[in-house]
Chain A
Amino acid sequence: MSIINLLKIAFRALKRNKLRAFLTMLGIIIGVAAVIAMMAIGEGSKQSIRSSLSGMGSNMITIMPQSNEPGGVRLQGSSIQTLKLEDITAIKKLQSKNINGLSPVVSTNGQAIKGGYNWPTTITGVSPDYLNIRQLKLQDGILFSENDVKSFAKVCLLGKTVIDNLFPDGSNPIGQIIRFKNIPFQVIGVLVPKGQSNFGQDQDDIILAPYTTVQKRITATNYLQSIYASATTEASSAAATAEISEAIRESHRLTAAETDDFQVRTQAELISTISSTSSMLTVLLTAIAGISLFIGGIGIMNIMYVSVTERTREIGLRMSIGARGQDVLMQFLIEAILISITGGIIGVVLGVSSAYLISYFLNWPILIAESSIIISFVVCAITGVFFGYYPAKKASNLDPIDALRYE
């Protein structure tokens, strides 16, 4: 019996029962479509979180204050005042090859005013290194210098949102004077827009100024909200973290018994934490979808069993005109595989198009991995063989006389 003949026989048998074949397929179609759409959504969000996190600077190291008194009142990080400019000096003194950028961060909220326009925003006092660390770029103008830092210069860089609100007429802000909390700042540069962060923050609603100016003229404090540094390479970020910790502990004069009163985090850590969370989500979604694929397989088995019983006379006839047991086995097996593979193809098309529809209408990031298509396809074929085998075996073992006589 040639395989072409078997295919033709199985195909004709399915054609005789189009509706039933389709209903059987439906389980597979929905299962495969669900697996592909779920994996596309899961992978898509993982990818987009990853890329936006590394867009913030994948070598970035963040140092935040932290309470080290276990029994004491736990305060929010920003209200703990353990980080000082001395810590910056201590880190600088290391002259480490692993660290290539360092900036304090002092920020405060307030009203920015230009002429008749005003806008509530945040001013952030930083050193010139900050732009490289955060991967910010200048679109226009110049960066403030170390000299500006030393001289408490009242200069600033503006993000797009601030410009849009203070210069709605579209005039060039460079060289203009704006006021923040009544302190005049000259605009010397404009930042390249970054858009929204993953967490929905507007990253362009930003004013950068020398930290000395912000500390002296606006906040009138000498502690820092945080310190940003950048490691030379992603690989050296662990070494850099250790060095920074050591330097700050020394500058804070912590004894070996005392725990850190600060926290050092690398961006690489954050990326791996978040992407492992979203990996878990992908696995979960895919598992749920996989279960529906499995149920689709059971549907095939169910229908194939029913159809073996229903088609007992057909099987008897085929045997009486010369079909061998294995011909009947192959026919039913191929029918099951045709159903599952056709269902698989339709499922892939449906899954891919619903993933695109989701990304189009809901604006969710999607990523259709080839592997997800290949995997669900292979699973489909295996489902067909696995769930089709027992009914097919049952059919092939029928006795032709009994089968012909079956009512």
Chain B
Amino acid sequence: MEQKILDIHDLKREFVMGDQTVRALKGITFDIKAGEFITIMGSSGSGKTTLLNILGCLDKPTEGSYLLDGVDVKGLNRDELAGLRNTKIGFVFQAYNLLPRTSALENVELPLFYNKTITAEERKERAIKSLESVKLAERFDHTPSQLSGGQQQRVAIARALVNHPVMILADEATGNLDTRTSYEIMALMQELNAEGKTIVFVTHEPDIAAFSTRTIMLRDGKIQKDSINQNQRSAKEALANLPESDDY
């Protein structure tokens, strides 16, 4: 009954730079089922971002196969990849990447502008719902400069959710945040996961990985370890146990 959202086989990615070839991914094989909360770990340069970009259809593998929600990504052109990103994927970046001087609501609406089938009312309605689900509904008219880092990242998560993606991809989404705010974001991720969202979360911090259900460890472009997290930590509890003096 468990449905495969993503299935990659012997995935390779090489970058040709002049006469040098950088082999960033050297044959990766795994699949992800609906409802999983996966963290991808590894030291800097191990290929985490390269892998996530391919999973997110921003990049194409040099070799190997990739099935996303039953679609073979290999044969698709630039525009078709854009279409997939628009309907199946929600990105969350380390640097938030919100449009400056633009309200939270308009930022969240953005992906729906590139979807012809959605009307203006529907767009607004969904954006507000999405902001509600990250508990920022009352800040819909604030611009990024009027929001804290954690709030900005929550807007970015709302933006990733607004197109009802099959999975959310996050690249070091807590990398710019302090511990407490990071835990708040992870609590939000766990909540979304509990509602059924599939999440792939890239991080290099082990305490963040502890909040997921499964961890894939990359090293030098290969999978070093792929393990189910037997005792997933609750971010809510972790938050409660943080010392009061922690500044936020």
Contact = CB atoms under 8 A, between A and B. Distances in A.
Given A12-B102, A323-B82, A400 B58 contact: yes
B100 interface: yes
Interface stretch (B86-94, B125-133, B189-197): B86-94
B116 A1 contact: yes
A233 B147 CA distance: 83
B111 A16 contact: no
- The listed residue with most B CB atoms (<10 A of its CB), out of A314, A320, A323, A325, is A320
A360 B86 CA distance: 59
Contacts of A314: 99
A404 B97 contact: yes
Nearest to A320: B91
Contacts of A5: 113-114, 116
A74 interface: no
Interface in A262-288: none
B82 A324 contact: yes
Interface in B16-54: 53
A216 interface: no
Given A324-B78, A404-B93, A2 B85 contact: no
B79 interface: yes
Contacts of B91: 320-321
Interface centre among A17, A317, A327, A404 (most CB of B within 10 A): A317
B115 interface: yes
B53 A322 contact: no
A322 B115 contact: yes
A194 interface: no
Nearest to B110: A321
Contact of A321 (B53, B78, B85, B95): B85
B121 to A, nearest CB: 13
A35 B242 CA distance: 69
A317 B86 CA distance: 11
B78 A327 contact: no
Contacts of B95: 313
Mostly, the A contact residues are helix
A10 to B, nearest CB: 11
Contacts of B56: 320
B114 A325 contact: no
Task: Sort chain A's interface into a size bin.
Answer: 20 to 34
A313 B82 contact: no
Contacts of A404: 58, 93, 97
A143 B101 CA distance: 82
Contacts of B206: none
A324 B113 contact: no
Interface residues of B, number: 28
Interface in B53-69: 53, 56, 58-59
A319 interface: yes
B86 to A, nearest CB: 2
A16 B113 contact: no
A324 to B, nearest CB: 4
Contact of A319 (B82, B93, B102): B82
B154 interface: no
A401 B58 contact: yes
A8 B79 contact: no
A13 to B, nearest CB: 8
A157 to B, nearest CB: 77
B159 interface: yes
Given A317-B97, A401-B53, A322 B102 contact: no
B172 interface: no
A304 B93 CA distance: 26
Interface string B71-91: 000000011001101110001
Which residue among A12, A321, A404 has the maximum number of chain B CB atoms within 10 Å of its CB?
A: A321
A2 B112 CA distance: 11
A318 interface: yes
Interface string A302-316: 000000000001101
Given A16-B101, A317-B97, A323 B114 contact: yes
Contacts of B114: 1, 5, 318, 321-324, 327
Interface string B114-144: 1110000000000000000000000000000
A318 B58 contact: no
Report the 8 A-B pairs with minimum CB-CB distance, sorted nearest first: A322-B86, A321-B111, A322-B114, A324-B82, A16-B101, A317-B97, A324-B79, A5-B113
Interface of A: 1-2, 5, 8-9, 12, 16-17, 313-314, 316-327, 400-401, 404
5 contacts: A317-B99, A319-B85, A322-B82, A322-B111, A327-B82
Given A16-B102, A324-B83, 15 more contacts: A1-B116, A16-B101, A316-B97, A317-B97, A317-B99, A318-B110, A319-B82, A320-B97, A321-B91, A322-B82, A322-B85, A322-B111, A322-B114, A323-B86, A325-B82
